[in-house]
Chain A
Amino acid sequence: MKDEVVIQVRGLRKQYRLGKINAGTLEQAIRERRERKKAMRRGETAGRGEGTFYALDGIDLTVRRGESLGIIGRNGAGKSTLLKILSRITAPTEGVVDLYGRVSSMLEVGTGFSGDMTGRENIFMNGAILGMTRDEIREKMEDIVRFSGVEDFLDTPVKRYSSGMYVRLGFSVATHLESDIVIMDEVLAVGDVDFQKKCIDRLSRSVKEQGKTVLFVSHNMNAVRQLCRRCIVLDRGRIVFDGDVEGAVSTYLGTDRSLPAEVEFGPEYRQDDHLVRPVIRFSINRMRLISGDTPVFSCEEEAVLELACRAEVPLRGVAFRFEVWYQDHTKAATALSGNALDLEAGEHSIRVVFPLRHLTPGGYRADIVAFQYDGRGGEYRIDAVYPGFVFQIRPTAGERYYVEWRGQFWGAVRLDDLTLRLQ
């Protein structure tokens, strides 16, 4: 039962044409056809190959009952196309997909809701679109309403709903479906944090207790971590990683951006610069990594950077801080410089030593902020670059007391080790 295959994808490819060829008028189509025939007569291959690309380029995937599979990848990697084919919205160009079980797909919350109909009517409509019969919906009505928390507005047209209520209602209907395979695309991105948590709990429970299979596309790595035990990374229509979530996240970040050892900070590195710096007195112009060629470290190492800066006027008490973000866009921690520099006007090269021992394996970026102490516990920001320094911490196995860091539960910062002494 546990090893039962529910989704079997073999050699799946999906071709799209580039340009507006298909959106044409009759005249265009006739002309095109004629040209294609002409080309064939000349012995050329028909103009099919050019102007096309494969959104999915050879996908093989097996998913078993009770698995929750995360699908991550950059925009355009083919995630949505894969879900569209599995949801039977569009047909594959090549390959075979076998689905063993009822599929309910949620590529959008509240598909088929119409504003003029009441919440109750829309539950029936939405449920029917998703493949439930009226009796099934009636049976589940109470649960759906309770889960969504819109009891009092059930007979109000949904156009008067707040967007949160709308999302909750749509999600409730979809998760109460009698289905074996649940497909979700980024639907949790909407809705508030509490409701997101409630949804993830509900889904994980249905995976565990009812043996449902969940396919989940998201850019929110934390949601993927909480819901999924297995994760694939798509890149340009292929699966480049298939395995545990942490590995997938690292791979995804690896494909996401290259890690430069030297960065020139142009205007694209500054946010609201005119607000932060009405008068430019100080600029961080360049960052160069001194320790190593690539910014990949183990947590025992220190990163040594050189910042090329320019002071327009003499400045006293210039300090720096690194605001460190974890790869899922949550703030991990901040490092402050322990001392400050007095600078003459002109170019300066400032060496920064950045100890990394509190950071756990994963991808990080640090916003570099330069500021002056005002002497009363406050600070005055003179420049900031976002992100100033992008780096990775690689896992260090092999220690005597090594344990894999579980960032989703423990956080991105590892405090100094506790000392145990038997009394």
Chain B
Amino acid sequence: MMSVKGGGGSGTPSYHVRLVPKTRGIHLGLGEVWRYRDLVLLLTKKTFTMTYQQTLLGPLWILLHPVFSSLVHMLVFGRIAGIGTGGVPGILFYFASMAVWEMFAYSLHTNAQTFISSAHLFSKVYFPRLSVPFSGLLVSLLKFCIQLIVILPMWTVYLIRGDIHPVLPALPLLPLLLLQLSMLGMSVGVLLSSLTTRYRDLMHLVGVGTSLWMYASAVVYPLDALPPGRLRSLITLNPVTQIMELIRRITLGEGMFSLPRYLFGVALTLLLFLAGAAVFSHVERTFEDTI
């Protein structure tokens, strides 16, 4: 769409933007997002203030939400269905897994609505449209960090009691894994949001799709609780399963890890990210005409 050249010219930097009908190749415009990084941060802050404005408990909801859902899963999967947690204390297993999953799901969910929810902005002013998904990504990461306030003490207590056996040297890998997961969510979300500008049907699929995806991602059960077979190998192909299991292996000492399958997941994440960004940059150019 354009080329921005910064450079000399009578003291002030000169900019040149060329607008043409079609672009060749993938244009991500990540550099421009970086120049608008203050906007990304402000959008992130805005999401936080707006979500918890005029609520009694405020950001406490970030903690309460996974507490409730992990209690439910503990009851349904742990007590009723009797699926184990691979020796990990139930509450920690469900809470940590849910927190990780919700980070992914949030990143997917908010970004799937990018074009629809920001239509009023996009139709009035230009800024790199990817700023909005990136701020969604930041919000999901931040929420997870807040949830660590509960997870960390719990984890430490169980660690000291010797109930869990984490792979401590691998802990520094954790942020990378979380980032990968969050990016995966963002990529799928961005891809969906680009398609929803044309086909609103997809909006309804997102909700159903994410909850199905959760059960296909070994979130509320450990992967080795599944009998080996076609279903299990299918589920291991899911990149979220791989990240999930790896995170649990590192932090809780429980989980299956296969390097080829994990690398396949990394490749898929990268592919989806590029595809998402490419479709997004294609759609953002004319979305104003279709929405």
A→B interface (CB under 8 Å): 1, 16-17, 22-26, 29, 84-103, 105, 107-108, 111-112, 114, 116-117, 124-125, 128-134, 180
* 14 further contact pairs, Cβ within 8 A, besides A90-B286, A131-B127: A85-B19, A86-B19, A88-B2, A88-B17, A90-B289, A91-B21, A92-B20, A92-B21, A99-B18, A103-B17, A105-B125, A111-B121, A128-B38, A129-B127
- Please tell me if the beta carbons of B42 and A114 are within 8 angstroms of each other in the complex: no
Contact B290 A116 (CB under 8 A): no
B20 near A96: Cβ-Cβ < 8 Å: yes
In the complex, are the beta carbons of B21 and A111 less than 8 A apart?
Answer: no
Residues of A within 8 A of B121 (CB): 111-112, 129
Q: How far is the CA of A129 from the CA of B123 in the complex (A)?
A: 13
- Residues 273-291 of chain B, each 1 if its beta carbon lies under 8 Å from chain A, else 0: 0000000000001101110
Q: Nearest Cβ distance between residue B46 and chain A, in whole angstroms? A: 6
Let me know if B50 and A108 touch, CB within 8 A: no
- Cβ–Cβ contact A25 & B199, under 8 A: yes
4 closest A-B pairs by CB = A128-B39, A91-B285, A88-B126, A97-B19
Q: In this assembly, does B233 line the interface, its C-beta being within 8 Å of a C-beta of chain A? A: no
Contacts of B49 in A (CB 8 A): 116-117
> Residue-by-residue, is B1-22 near A (CB-CB < 8 Å gives 1, otherwise 0)?
1100000001000111111110
| Complex Cα spacing A91 to B125, Å | 13
Partner pick for B15 among A94, A95, A102, A107, CB 8 A cutoff: A102
**CB-nearest residue of chain A relative to B10?**
A1
Q: B158 an interface residue at 8 Å Cβ cutoff? A: no
Name the interface residues of B27-79: CB closer than 8 Å to any CB of A.
Answer: 36, 38-39, 42, 46, 49-50, 53
A88-B2, A96-B18, A99-B19 known; A128-B53 Cβ under 8 A: no
Q: Name 20 interchain pairs, CB-CB below 8 A, sorted by A.
A: A23-B200, A24-B199, A85-B19, A88-B1, A89-B126, A89-B288, A90-B286, A91-B285, A96-B19, A96-B20, A99-B16, A100-B15, A105-B125, A107-B125, A108-B125, A111-B120, A116-B50, A116-B53, A117-B46, A130-B127
Tell yes or no: B122 within 8 A of A by CB.
yes
- CB contacts (< 8 Å) of A22 on chain B: these are 198, 289-290
Which residue from chain A places its CB closest to the CB of B5 in the assembled complex?
A: A100
Verify A97–B42 contact, CB threshold 8 A. Answer: no
A25 to B127, CA, bound (A): 29
- Chain A residues within 8 Å of B17, by CB: 88, 98-99, 103
**B100-130, CB under 8 A of A: which get 1 and which 0?**
0000000000000000000011111111000
Q: Which residues of B contact A (CB under 8 A)?
A: 1-2, 10, 14-21, 36, 38-39, 42, 46, 49-50, 53, 120-127, 198-201, 285-286, 288-290
Question: Cβ of B42 and Cβ of A101 under 8 Å apart?
Answer: no
Q: Is the CB of B124 within 8 A of A89?
A: yes
Q: How far is the CA of A93 from the CA of B285 in the complex (A)?
A: 11
User: What is the chain B residue whose CB lies nearest that of A107?
Assistant: B124
A6 CB to nearest chain B CB (Å): 10
Closest beta carbon of chain B to A2's beta carbon, Å: 12
- Which A residues are in CB contact (< 8 Å) with B39? 128-129
CA distance A394 to B46 in the complex (A): 57
Query: Least Cβ distance of B193 to chain A in Å?
Result: 16
B14 partner residues in chain A, CB cutoff 8 A: 100-101
Complex Cα spacing A88 to B15, Å: 14
Q: Which residues of B contact A29 (CB under 8 A)?
A: 198-199
Q: A204 to B8, alpha carbons, bound, how many Å? A: 27
Q: Are A105 and B126 in contact (CB under 8 A)?
A: yes
Contacts of A84 in B (CB 8 A): 288
Residues of A within 8 A of B201 (CB): 25-26
Q: Which residue of B lies closest to A27 (CB)?
A: B201
Q: Which chain A residues border B199 with CB–CB below 8 Å?
A: 24-26, 29
Q: Are B15 and A111 in contact (CB under 8 A)?
A: no
B-side contacts of A102, CB under 8 Å: 15
Instruction: Find the B residue at minimum CB distance from A94.
Output: B21
Cβ of B15 and Cβ of A101 under 8 Å apart? yes
> Which of A87, A91, A102 has the most chain B CB within a 10 Å cutoff?
A91
- In the complex, the chain A residue whose C-beta lies closest to that of B202 is A26
Q: A180 to B13: give the CA distance in the assembly, Å.
A: 11
Q: Which residues of B contact A117 (CB under 8 A)?
A: 46, 49
Q: Which residue of B lies closest to A14 (CB)?
A: B289
Q: How far is the CA of A134 from the CA of B288 in the complex (A)?
A: 28
Bound complex: CA of A84 vs CA of B124, how far in Å? 8
